[in-house]
Amino acid sequence: MLRWQTLTGIVLGLVIGIAILNLAGSRVRQPAPPSGAILSECDGHLRELVIQYEPSAREIVATPYRDFLGALGGDITVDIVCPSHAAFDELVAFAGHVNCTLRPIIVNHPMTTWARDRWVALAPASPTSPTTLWSQPGEASAELWPARAGDERIGVDIARTLGSSVFARRGPLFFDGGDFLADDDTVFVMPRVLQRNIQLTVATRKEFILDLAAELKRHVVLLDEAPEHHAAMFMASAGNKTVLVGDPRLGRQLIASGTNASLALPGGPDFSEQTQRLFDAVAGQCAAAGYKVIRIPTIPASDGRSFMTYVNVLIDQQGSRRIVYLPFYRGAASLNASARKIWEDLGYEVCPVDCTTTYLHFGCLHCLVNVLKRS
C-alpha cells in the first residue's frame, strides 16, 4: 500500500508540475518580430484600412464614411472596428453599395470612433514579417473615460482578429498616432510628443530623436513650433519632397470674397497674428528641412480645436496615378474650390468627401481612417 501511494504521489506531482510549466509557458510573450519603417502618408497603393464605428457617433461620421467607402476600389479591404455585430450591420446599411471589402472586427467593449490616434503602422521588415501596430504605453484619461480605455486595447484587438499578419506591441514613448506625419524619407513630429516624454521616458531632446528614429526608421524632423493639434490638421505630405501647410491668411481672403454661405465655427474664425505665426512657423521649418512648401487655405476656430482644413486627407498612389480623398464643407464653396485646385495642380485626382458633420468635433477624414497596409 505504501509503495502504491508513493508511486501515485510521484505521478500526481509530475502531472501538476507539467501543468504548471505549461501554464507558465503560455504566459511567456514571444519576442517581437522585426519591424520596418512607419508607413508613408503619400506613397504606395492603399490595401488595408481601419476605421472605427460606434453607434452614438452616427451623426458625426455617417456622411464621410458613406462618401469615402463608396469611392474606394474593389482591391481595398476596410477593417471596421465595432463594439458589437449590430453596430457593424448598422454601418453596412448606411454605407450602401461599396466595391471595397468591409470586414468586421468586433471588440465587445466601449470605444470611440477615432481610429487614427491609438497606433501607427510599421511596415513588415521582410516579406514574411507581419505589419506592426505600435502603441504608446497607456492612454491618457483611460481611468476616467471607458471609451478611451477601450481604444487603448484596439491595437491588440486588431492583431488578435487578423492573426499572424499583424503584431501589436507597446513602446516606451507617449504619443498619439496623429502626432506623426511621414513620407518615404522623413517623419515630422509634433512638439507635444517631446513635451510628453522629456524627463519621463527620455532625458534629453537628442535621446528622444535618436530613439524615435530607431523605432520609426525615418529621418526625424521635430517641429519646435506648431498649432496645438495633430499634424494632419495643418499639414500634409504630398510626395516629391513637397508639403502642404495650412494658411489662415488665405482662408480669410476667401471668406472676404463673400462666396461662402456659412461658416459655423465655435467662437468664429481665429485669424489672430499669434495663430498665423504658428502656421508660418511650420512652413518655415519644413522649408528648412529641404521641402517645397505650398500654402493652402485653412480656417482655424477660436476654440483652438476645430479646423476647417484641406490637409486632413487620405492619399492613394497607383503607379503614376495619385488620388486624394479631400474633405469639403457645405456652405464653403470658394474655400472648397480653391483647395481642390491646389491639389489638382499637384497632379492629384480629387475625390471629395463631405466632412461638414465631422470637423466641429475636433477631427476630420484623416482622423477617422488609419492605414494598415500599402502595396
Domain count along the chain: 1
Is 2 among the domain residues? no
Alpha carbon of residue 58 to chain centroid: 19
For residue 271, being part of any structural domain is answered with yes
Task: Return the pLDDT at 71.
Answer: 98
| 15, part of any domain | no
Residue 265 lies in a domain: yes
Phi and psi at 24, nearest 5°, equal -65, -40
pLDDT at 115: 96
Any domain includes 163? yes
Question: Which residue in 201, 134, 140 sits closest to 172, CA to CA?
Answer: 201
Q: What is the pLDDT of residue 32?
A: 86
| C-alpha cell at position 312 | 486632413
Secondary structure of residue 275 in the 3-state scheme: helix
Is the separation of the CB atoms in 326 and 307 below 8 Å? no
Assess if residue 361 is contained within a domain.
yes
Residue 22: inside a domain, yes or no? no
- Confidence (pTM): 0.89
Distance CA 361, CA 42 (A): 25
Q: How far, CA to CA in Å, does 174 sit from each of 171, 193, 208, 212?
A: 8, 7, 11, 11
List pLDDT tens digits, range 298-327.
999 999 889 999 999 999 999 999 999 999
51-78 residue pLDDT tens: 999 999 999 999 999 999 999 999 999 9
Quick one: the chain helix, strand, coil %, rounded to 5? 40, 25, 35
Residue 331 near residue 358 (C-beta atoms within 8 A) = no
Residue 123 in domain: yes
- Whether 246 and 296 have beta carbons less than 8 Å apart is answered as yes
For residue 268, how far is the Cα from the chain centroid?
A: 27
**What pLDDT score was predicted for residue 2?**
36
What is the extent of the structural domain holding 130? 33-374
User: Within the chain, which residues score under 50 in pLDDT?
Assistant: 1-28, 261-262
Which three-class secondary structure state does DSSP give residue 198? strand
- Residues contacting residue 215 through CB under 8 Å, at least 6 positions apart: 134, 171, 173
Query: Using alpha carbons only, how large is the chain's radius of gyration in Å?
Result: 23
Q: Please report the pLDDT score of residue 267 as a whole number.
A: 86
DSSP bridge pairs for 358: none
Look up the CATH number of the domain holding residue 275: 3.75.10.10
Identify the residue whose cell numbers are 482622423.
367
User: 251-278: per-residue pLDDT in tens?
Assistant: 999 987 655 544 678 888 999 999 999 9
By CB atoms closer than 10 A (0-12, 13-18, 19+), residue 355 is buried
User: 222 forms bridges with which residues in the sheet?
Assistant: 189
Which neighbouring-strand residues pair with 50?
79, 370
For residue 137 the three cell numbers come to 504605453
